[in-house]
A and B are shown apart, each in its own frame.
Chain A
Amino acid sequence: MLPNVRREDWYQTATNTNWDISYVDEEDMYPSGLTGQDAYNVPEDGWESWEETYKQTAREYYETQHEKDGSVYAVSSAMDQSGLPHSLGMGWEDVLKFHFATVPLLERAAVTSESQYARFAPDSAWRHMAQFGAMDELRHTELQLRIPHSFVKEDSQYDWAKKMYHTEDWASVAARHLFDDFKASNAIDSALQITFAFETGFTNMQFLALASDAADVGDIEFSEAISSIQTDEARHAQQGNAIIEILDEYDDLDRAQYLVDKSFWRCYKLFSALTGPSMDYYTPVEDREMSWGEFMEEWIVDQFLENIENTGLEKPWYWDQFIELVRQGGTSHYMAGGHYHWRPTLPIAPPGVTAEDREWLEEKYPGWEERWGEKWDRHAKAMRDDDLEKTVADDLIVLCDLCQLPAIHADPDLDHNRLHSHEHDGETYYFCSEPCQWIFENEPDRYADHQSILRRFLAGDIQPQTLEGALEHMGMGADNAHERGIDFRAPEWGDDWIDWSPSSSDPAGAASDD
């Protein structure tokens, strides 16, 4: 019998399997467009010191993941007859619908990225680790497609869990624009954006903060599933730090800094649009543990700063305006209003805000009432006047040519929040913010070809050129009309506001930037 050995005795032998290529051209084997070595100044053998902090073997992986799946699916099947999630109300269902529509197929796109690292990353230990990352992402796809699958029998909007990214819905376009931007890169660039900014930075929000809301609401199945997912993220997200350590060693952090600045901002914008309204508007008010802004400050801002400080990187250059935006939650409030106004474009049922909501929002975001209250007053009045159509948009708005979200920012009174524009090759491009413009200007050729929904409309790619034509383009045409978003509280919620005194007496004037 051979002697026993501990994992630390053999792990590096297992993962250090680089060899010198001699039968084919090195550049063919590791093409720079897919590996990224040419974009950095690390010598070839410099990458061979790549090392992740928390190691896991295949043996441990199978065992742990088997157990984790066992727990999640056990809870899930125990909840089979519980009436969840439909019994929790349509507000909470909006949170679920939004989550499932936007998350599982992005996880599947991450399988592709992790597999790119598992093939083309410049070191074998990294490739080895990335393969477990690919497995994790496969798990998350599977789990988050299996759970909502049974829900489609009760509510057709859950169909978007599988369908969303196959459509040209604006939310699909915006989320793909972000993820494809990260993904369509060499392995090093891609991993810095996906594992460092997206996963280390933001998945805590989607998986832990939301799990805490889910637990409060009583959605045990969802809470169990997404907190289990986050335990995987924490492991494979380490890749980003391991890369930055090597870049730091060779004093080569400029590109990483650029990519982190860019991707962190992009993530903030997208999560503000999708997760922010879920936390501040759709989770039932009595179950909201913290506001989106509070979660951001505690879970993202502080942790991201800590992560940054542990590396040789610096805070992004836009940090001050970012913090101001986080405190006001501007993008999130704006998007919640947008979801409501353009609700037929979304597979959720966004409700009008109640008196309790408004008190809560004002408490969490002082000044909310003054800034946003009148818009909801106007919708409420239309409801009371039995003029529901007036609460639904019949037009399109200017979209940011980078993030694909509305290009009118939270607070048009502030200079840096005004619509930005930039000329490139004789074409004018519009941006919601200075950082989005900065990202575009850094690599205009990367972004200039992409057509926002508005550009497609103006170019005549969307026919007929009506809102109905746009809905058809977005996968919400006549055949899918029953999947379109509605206000599930309408029209009664309008009655809540009969005695309300709006802070602005000129609701018409507020319509312009909505």
Chain B
Amino acid sequence: MSEKQYPMKEQTYRTYTTWAQRRVPTTYDVATHRTNYDIGERYDGEVPRLAVGTDQALAEWYREYREGSSIAGEYPDDFDSWRDPREMTYEKYNDLMDDRESAIETLYEQAEVLERGTERSDDPWLDFQKRAFLPLRYPCHGLQMLASYLTMVAPSSTISTAMTLQATDEIRRQERLARRASQLKKEFPERGFTENEREIWEEDEMWQPFRKVIEELLVEYDWGKSFVGTNLVLKPLFDELFLAHYSELFEANDSDLYAQVLDNFYLDSDRSREIGASVAEHLVGIDESNGVVIQETIDEYYPACEDAVRAFRPAFESMPPETLPFDDVMEDIERKYDAMLADVPVQRPS
């Protein structure tokens, strides 16, 4: 046994050996592929691969809701092979989001310098924002919790990473919305801005269908159903309504600046939709029966989410000074939804 040779320097690798594909891995693959060591079997065949007694709460949780999910697939290879189509790494994400947030600041600076009339302050418009817009920070928190949960239970580190970034998208909205509520409070101290939104979220009938479906999804613990309910149903509809179409409402009501802020948030939403469709396509590729589970989950949550969207008809047709026809909004939301599902063998329930 001669140790002079340094065998570790004689026989080397071109990349990490956990990467079995022929393709050279990208930076994204290096950073995100197979990084969750608790996914898969222990040496003794137990799942998950956690070094604690199998009856501990977290181990039981994973057994029931991750490995026990209604989504079929072999751990870890079937799920590990999903890649984020945008190859979003942490580094790339912060770079991108720094740009997006800087863009918002530039919008504010421009508005200030050019002294544009960026805000109208008539009663109906202020009431609209208080009742139909600013409570949004609560459901944004709900969406953050959903994405954080999916980070925790996703069946691969690649899906998990995409969900971590999505959770942070929700946080930036939540913060900007709170900031706007505080600005309105400073300008109009008597109107209850920042103080009344929780009560509106908890009790106003317009918000209740949304709150109900968010709470129901938060206790939908099966990872696959939680993912489908969040990224293929709730979030695409929610973002389309509150970002894309509220942006039109803000524009119609001479609030160009915030219309652009909402457009800026919508850029994040585009990524989440693409991830939703891409994961769904991947799951069907693993096993056709997954298509059935996805369809059933869509069928389960879509009607409630659609009702939740429809509850906002007054926000378009009667509350703001300048209104927009809600039927057009609904039609556009459905069209975008169908486009999202174009490559996935599932459908919007009729």
- Chain A positions within 8 Å of B116 at CB level: 1
Selected from B16, B57, B181, B215, the residue in CB contact (under 8 A) with A13 is B181
- B38 contacts which chain A residues (CB < 8 A)? 109, 112, 180
Chain B, range 161-213, C-beta contacts under 8 Å to A: 161, 164, 167-168, 171-172, 174-175, 177-184, 186-187, 194, 198, 201-202, 211-212
List of B residues within 8 angstroms of A487 by Cβ: 3
Which of A142-150, A205-213, A240-248 makes up part of the contact surface? A142-150
Please tell me if A506 contacts chain B, counting CB pairs below 8 Å: no
Residues from chain B with a CB closer than 8 A to the CB of A4 are: 183
The answer to whether A201 has its CB under 8 Å from any CB of chain B is no
> Residue of A at shortest CB range from B54?
A449
Say yes or no: B145 contacts A69, CB within 8 Å: no
Determine which of A57, A62, A163, A447 lies in contact with B97 in the assembled complex, contact meaning CB atoms within 8 Å. Answer: A62
- How many angstroms between the C-alpha atoms of A163 and B144 in the bound complex? 31
Query: A451 to B160, alpha carbons, bound, how many Å?
Result: 29
Report A1-31 CB contacts with B as 1/0, cut-off 8 Å.
1111100011101110101111111001100
- Does chain A have a CB within 8 A of B9? yes
How many angstroms between the C-alpha atoms of A127 and B142 in the bound complex? 11
A57: chain B residues at CB < 8 Å are 175
A116, A388, A482: the one within 8 Å of B7 (CB): A482
Asked if A138 is at the interface (CB within 8 A of a chain B CB), the reply is yes
A73 on the B face (CB < 8 A) = yes
Query: B21: CB under 8 A from chain A?
Result: no
* A381 contacts B by Cβ under 8 Å: no
The answer to whether B151 and A13 touch across the interface, beta carbons within 8 angstroms, is: no
Contact assessment for B14 and A153 in the assembled complex, using a CB-CB cutoff below 8 Å: yes
Interface residues on A, range: 35 or more
Q: How far is the CA of A29 from the CA of B116 in the complex (A)?
A: 46
Contacts of A162 in B (CB 8 A): 16-18, 34-35
User: Which single residue of chain A is at the shortest CB-CB distance from B115?
Assistant: A1
Question: Complex: how many Å from CA A17 to CA B37?
Answer: 33
Query: What's the nearest-Cβ distance from chain B to residue A478, in Å?
Result: 12
Q: Which residues of A contact B212 (CB under 8 A)?
A: 23
Please, what's the 1-or-0 string for A482-514, where 1 marks a CB less than 8 Å from any CB in chain B? Answer: 111011101100000000000000000000000
Q: Which of B9-49 contact A (CB under 8 A)?
A: 9-18, 27, 30-32, 34-38, 40, 43-44
Q: Which one of B52, B57, B151, B181 lies within 8 Å of A112 (CB-CB)?
A: B151
| Least distance between A104 CB and chain B CB atoms (Å) | 7
Would you give 17 A-B contacts (Cβ < 8 Å), ordered by A? A2-B118, A5-B186, A10-B182, A14-B175, A23-B215, A59-B105, A65-B94, A66-B98, A73-B91, A111-B160, A128-B144, A141-B35, A152-B13, A349-B8, A481-B7, A486-B7, A490-B3
3 A-B pairs with least C-beta separation: A33-B57, A14-B178, A118-B148
